[in-house]
């Protein structure tokens, strides 16, 4: 069996998956695969994928499984994913999880951990309403919890910060409902396979990072 981190981050919108995935990517020299980031880039570039995905993202619904699975299968073959990968926002339905198992089997790989980040709704709303993302590098900020040094400008690359359209109140409510119905059942799927670890997602970014690292402590970079 290959070494390296092959990890899924599971959790509701705003749980901090993207924030922790970026930190883990560095620690484990793994690639971060954020299906949300890939789709938003496609939307911004107005590719055929982006045009299709926008119809779903704008109302907080899930993009069809076959579209997402194909996208992830291709990305997993990239060279930077060979040492390991952090999946952020995928899988999100049971059929996506089953497809991922098949894809990894074909690559003679398997997941070695699934972290489920638990965050109450009130904290989610607080985080999403203040989130700012970099248009250029995808860097994540929060107007109160992790503000950029200069308002509206990314600390890492100087890119422009923007507020995601799907972070508007009505869309967030829909995303949370979709999560409960379609994604939350994945916790059991992975618990039955003895892959699931639950992480308390409330606290500072550093506190949560320490919990995540502890839960992955035995994995070798």
**Interaction site with ligand AP5 (CB under 6 A):** 11, 13-19, 35-36, 39, 56-57, 60-63, 68, 89-90, 92, 96, 127, 130-131, 140-142, 145-146, 166, 175, 203-205, 208
Residues pairing with 198 in the sheet:
116
Residue nearest to ligand AP5 according to CB distances in the complex: 36
Q: 5 vs 42, which CB is nearer to ligand AP5?
A: 42
CB of 50 to ligand AP5, least distance (A): 11
Q: Checking DSSP bridges between strand 131-134 and strand 85-88, what pairing results, if any?
A: unpaired
b/e map of 110-127 (b: 16 or more CB within 10 Å)?
ebbbbbbbebeeebbbbb
Is 205 buried (19+), middle (13-18) or exposed (0-12) by CB count in 10 A? middle
Q: 39 vs 196, which CB is nearer to ligand AP5?
A: 39
92 is catalytic: yes
156 is catalytic: no
Q: 4 vs 14, which CB is nearer to ligand AP5?
A: 14
164 is catalytic: yes
CA distances from 186 to 88, 112, 167, 176, 193 (A): 14, 15, 23, 15, 11
181 is catalytic: no
Just list the catalytic residues.
17, 92, 131, 164, 175
């Amino acid at each position: 069996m290959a070494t390296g981190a092959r990890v899924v981050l599971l959790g509701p919108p705003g749980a901090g998956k993207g924030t922790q995935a970026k930190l883990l990517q560095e620690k484990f020299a793994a690639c971060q695969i954020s299906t949300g980031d890939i789709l938003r880039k496609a939307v911004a570039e107005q590719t055929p994928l982006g045009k299709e995905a926008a119809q779903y993202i704008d109302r907080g619904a899930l993009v069809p499984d076959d579209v997402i699975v194909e996208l992830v299968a291709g990305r997993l073959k990239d060279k930077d994913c060979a040492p390991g990968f952090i999946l952020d926002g995928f899988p999100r339905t049971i059929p996506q999880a089953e497809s991922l198992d098949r894809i990894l089997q074909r690559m003679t790989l398997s997941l070695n951990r699934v972290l489920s980040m638990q965050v109450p709704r009130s904290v989610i709303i607080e985080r999403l309403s203040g989130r700012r993302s970099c248009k250029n590098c995808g860097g994540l900020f929060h107007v109160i919890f992790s503000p950029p040094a200069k308002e509206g400008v990314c600390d890492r690359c100087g890119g422009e910060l923007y507020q995601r359209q799907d972070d508007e109140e009505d869309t967030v409510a829909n995303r949370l409902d979709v999560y409960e119905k379609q994604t939350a059942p994945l916790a059991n799927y992975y618990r039955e396979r003895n892959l699931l670890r639950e992480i308390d997602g409330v606290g500072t970014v550093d506190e949560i990072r320490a919990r995540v690292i502890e839960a992955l402590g035995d994995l070798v970079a």
